[in-house]
């Protein structure tokens, strides 16, 4: 079975998936509501903060135990002197640094307990839990006036049905009730959502799961979660990346799950989007709707010995799915042969294998 997986967890550079975790947050229109801030502020001083993952870092002599580094903003920007480094060996953080846990592989931020400070959700998806190999752990590291400190475990809601709890994470107000919610992926075809107030004791007001037509099992499940508002209703929507089940080749594809007053997908509208291995959401054309960008870096089959990924083109491409009141609508594809994009499309270029969104020139439109 041939799978087009973006990156293998055990061998990839963690920075490729999560080092840009908060870079996406600076993009216009990724914040879908008044709750989720467009940039994290862990100490609530009015300056944006960033958190960088080092999931493969050696901690206390344990290879690939993982850690995360938060850098705090100021009037002069960020610097290495104002920072917090957090691992499972940090005081107040549950567990301990162990070989191969990949702590901070996936992260998301939001004010989960509503105290005015943004918090950081962090996973260790390969941690063994109560005898469950690679069961995975999700923690929330709490924001405060002095920055991030202390953490609470978010217990797996269905430990016997999957592994790698926290393989992917995303935050937003999915039901529009004014409280921050957290979406949690694993190796199953379900994405779990908790919210309506998450406390430092680990309790929360609401929980549910959404099931998608993606492959479950080792190396599968919800590979990547991306949150943003594509239909402008002020409820955060979710894009889920996983392997489609339509053929034995199981290509990466993306599913759009709209937010609603009853939670993600509760009012329908779930649909498959363009295939791709990485996703971002931002308002590229400045119309107030979040646009979904997917990177599809595969070349077509060279000699016909295996099927080409549907929609693939030489050198790779990105798809921009422009948002509207009905969610993602018009699609534009961009390659290195498009318009004023430098270079030209050549086999093996992997154009679209990584992307980031933000307003670089201050015109109110997200740049890619």
Task: Give the Cα separation of 344 and 21 in Å (integer).
Answer: 29
CA torsion angle 167 171 176 179 (round to 10): 110
Query: If you search the block for the tokens 């099931």, which residue do you land on?
Result: 211
pLDDT of residue 26: 36
Alpha helices in the chain (DSSP H): 14
pLDDT of residue 294: 94
Contacts 24+ apart (CB under 8 A), 119-122: 119/42, 119/143, 119/148, 120/40, 120/42, 120/51, 120/68, 120/70, 120/148, 121/154, 121/169, 121/171, 121/182, 122/68, 122/86, 122/151, 122/166
Nearest to 183 by CA among 86, 263, 88: 263
Nearest to 267 by CA among 172, 181, 174, 178: 174
Nearest to 139 by CA among 182, 187, 173, 190: 182
pLDDT of residue 246: 77
Burial environment of residue 77 by CB neighbours within 10 A (0 to 12, 13 to 18, 19 or more): exposed
Q: Tokens for 177, please give them.
A: 């009730």
Q: Is 26 left (phi over 0), alpha (psi -120 to 50) or beta?
A: alpha
Task: Give the Cα separation of 205 and 220 in Å (integer).
Answer: 29
Query: If you search the block for the tokens 């999931």, which residue do you land on?
Result: 55
Q: What is the mean pLDDT of each run of 10 residues along the chain (368 residues)?
A: 33 32 39 73 96 96 97 94 96 96 96 97 96 95 97 95 96 95 97 96 95 93 95 95 83 94 95 90 94 94 82 93 96 94 95 93 93
pLDDT of residue 222: 95
pLDDT of residue 307: 82
pLDDT of residue 311: 84
pLDDT of residue 153: 97
pLDDT of residue 34: 65
Task: Give the Cα separation of 349 and 293 in Å (integer).
Answer: 18
Q: If residue 107 lies in a helix (H) or strand (E), which one and from where to where?
A: strand 107-110
């Amino acid at each position: 079975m041939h799978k087009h997986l973006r990156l293998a967890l055990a061998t990839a550079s963690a920075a490729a998936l999560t080092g840009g975790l908060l870079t996406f947050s600076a993009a216009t229109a990724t914040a879908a509501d008044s709750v989720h801030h467009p940039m994290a502020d862990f100490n609530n001083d009015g300056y944006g903060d960033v958190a960088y993952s080092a999931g493969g870092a050696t901690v206390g002599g344990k290879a690939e135990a993982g850690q995360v580094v938060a850098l705090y903003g100021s009037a002069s920007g960020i610097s290495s002197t104002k920072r917090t480094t957090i691992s499972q060996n940090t005081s107040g953080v549950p567990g301990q640094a162990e070989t191969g846990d990949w702590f901070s592989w996936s992260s998301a931020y939001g004010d989960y307990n509503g105290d005015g400070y943004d918090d950081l959700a962090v996973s260790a998806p390969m941690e063994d839990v109560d005898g469950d190999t690679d069961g995975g752990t999700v923690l929330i590291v709490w924001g405060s006036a002095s920055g991030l400190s202390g953490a609470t475990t978010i217990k797996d809601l269905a430990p016997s049905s999957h592994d790698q709890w926290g393989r992917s994470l995303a935050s937003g107000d999915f039901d529009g009730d004014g409280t921050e919610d957290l979406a949690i992926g694993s190796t199953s075809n379900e994405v779990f959502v908790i919210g309506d107030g998450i406390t430092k004791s680990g309790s929360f007001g609401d929980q549910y799961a959404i099931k998608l037509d993606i492959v479950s099992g080792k190396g599968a499940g919800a590979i990547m979660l991306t949150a943003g508002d594509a239909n402008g209703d002020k409820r955060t929507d979710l894009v889920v990346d996983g392997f489609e089940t339509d053929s034995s080749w199981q290509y990466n594809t993306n599913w759009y799950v709209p937010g609603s007053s009853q939670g993600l997908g509760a009012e329908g509208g779930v649909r498959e989007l363009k295939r791709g291995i990485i996703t971002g959401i931002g308002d590229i054309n400045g119309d107030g709707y979040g646009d979904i960008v997917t990177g599809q870096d595969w070349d077509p089959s060279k000699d016909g010995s295996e099927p080409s990924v549907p929609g693939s083109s030489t050198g790779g491409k990105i798809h921009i799915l422009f948002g509207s009141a009905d969610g993602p609508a018009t699609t534009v594809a961009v390659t290195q042969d498009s318009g004023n994009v430098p270079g030209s499309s050549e086999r093996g270029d992997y154009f679209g294998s990584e992307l980031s969104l933000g307003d670089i020139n201050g015109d109110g439109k997200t740049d890619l």
